[in-house]
Structure 1
Amino acid sequence: MTSARHARSRLIVTVDALRLALAESSDLLGFTLGGTIDEETAAAAEADGVPRKFLDFCRVLNGVGCGPSVQLFSLWEAEEHQFYCEPVVDSPLPLSPEKLYCVGMIQEAPVYLDRAGGDVLGALEEGPDWPDAERFDQLAPSVEAFFLERLVDPAEYQRLALIDDELVEYDDWLKLLRRAGLSG
């Protein structure tokens, strides 16, 4: 439990730093960081089958658009994207709404939360051809870890977003990470 509590407090500190940097950065896109969901909303969503591990993340950060090709959904956006969990004809992927919950998109490929274990999964290397992938890759052990280790890490984000070195200085998410003191 100590490790989960540490990750949650690290998430809160990181999101607070990002929110402060965004508030002081009128030149950056305002839709980058979502708000939070309240306990009543979370309880209703959990009763409707939304995984608690995703709701715990949304209590701190209800969606984040890191750029045009990298997004973790808000609760409402996620609810609209659950069709990505449905089986796809001729796809070898184990798609199932009972096993997966779609929590985001990267390069036109869905990002999933494994309902049983809480792992974040995806077939990102395939991009828009993700149904043709042979298997899902584990992207992180949790939504919090995915955000902190992949999206807040400038090098990992740059790799996921397919940003070449010449465009690094123009990417708003990377600018926000630098201004928040999170760029290493």
Structure 2
Amino acid sequence: MTSANPGASRLIATVYALRTALAESTDLLRFTLGGTIDEETAADAEADGVPREFLDFCRVLDGASCGPSVQLFGLEEAEEHQFYCGPVVDSPLELSPEKLFCVGMIHETPVFLDRAGGGLLGIPDEHREWVDAERFERLAPGLEAFFLERLATPEYARLASLDDESVEYDDWLKLLRRAGLAN
């Protein structure tokens, strides 16, 4: 990822603000933000079929635990969760490891990077069991956009289904506020 890409610069600045706020917040969980992956690790993973978009994100942020209901995987954890991409008997979804790469979970439902289109895909909210969904819902044009527009903003509270009572106890929302990313 180069700094010539304005999105990359924004991602780097956002992650820096989050890391700074986390370092100053002794009351928040340390494992909230993952580290970064190096070029050698990224090259090896790409040779093994991991999508470049995911690896570019991991070069800046190798996973984020945004509270109990929203998580973006780091490289190692993502590799362990690719079983979600495989076909499921009687599921109407077109699941395929060649088409999808699992990058996280929202409310115990996998989130996928579309290998062909690059978009981030999830399951519409109305489905209780994700394998019963009839279609995917596009959550964002890509992983970086999803993080910057949905997780590193006040939009996170809606995505995580936080009610008025739980908002004050959510560590990710506290971190966003301390980093100046949410009010």
- Aligned CA RMSD, in angstroms, stands at 1.4
Q: Give the count of matched residue pairs.
A: 181
Matched residue, 1:166 = 165
Mapped to 2, the partners of 1:27 and 1:124 lie a distance apart of 34
2:69 maps to what in 1?
Answer: 69
Please tell me whether the aligned partners of residues 72 and 104 of structure 2 are also in contact (alpha carbons under 8 angstroms). yes
CA distances 1:103-162 after superposition (whole Å, capped 9, x unpaired): 0000010000001121000105156500111100000001000000111111x2111111
Partner of 1:5: 5
Give the structure with the larger helix fraction. Answer: 1
Identical amino acids, percent of aligned pairs: 76
Which residue in the other structure is 1:141 paired with? 141
Contact 2:127–2:133 (Cα < 8 Å) also in 1: no
- The aligned amino acid for 2:168 is E
Q: Secondary structure at the match of 1:176?
A: helix
Q: For 1:139, what is the secondary structure of its paired residue?
A: strand
Distance 1:44 1:131, change over 3 A: same
Tell me the TM-score normalised to structure 2 length.
Answer: 0.95
In the alignment, is the contact (CA less than 8 A) between 1:106 and 1:127 conserved in 2? no
- The secondary structure found in structure 2 opposite 1:27 is coil
Q: Is 1:17 equivalent to 2:17 in the alignment?
A: yes
For residues 111 and 153 of structure 2, what CA distance do their matches in structure 1 show?
Answer: 18
CA shift in 2, pair 1:74/1:127, >3 Å: farther
Instruction: Please give the alpha-carbon distance, in whole angstroms, between the structure 1 residues aligned to 2:128 and 2:26.
Output: 33
Distance 1:22 1:124, change over 3 A: farther
Structure 1 residues 56-79: Cα deviation after superposition (integer angstroms, max 9, x where no partner): 000000000000110000000000
Please state whether the residue corresponding to 2:62 is helix, strand or coil. Answer: coil
Report whether the alignment pairs 1:55 with 2:55.
yes
Task: Quote the Cα distance in structure 1 between the aligned partners of 2:8 and 2:127.
Answer: 30
Secondary structure at the aligned position of 1:113 is classed as strand
SS in 2 for 1:16: helix
TM-score of the two chains, using structure 1 as the length reference? 0.95
8 Å CA contact 1:109–1:128 kept in 2: the answer is: no
Trace 1:35-46 onto structure 2 (pairs within 5 A).
35-46=35-46
Paired with 1:128 and 1:48, the residues of 2 have a C-alpha distance of 33
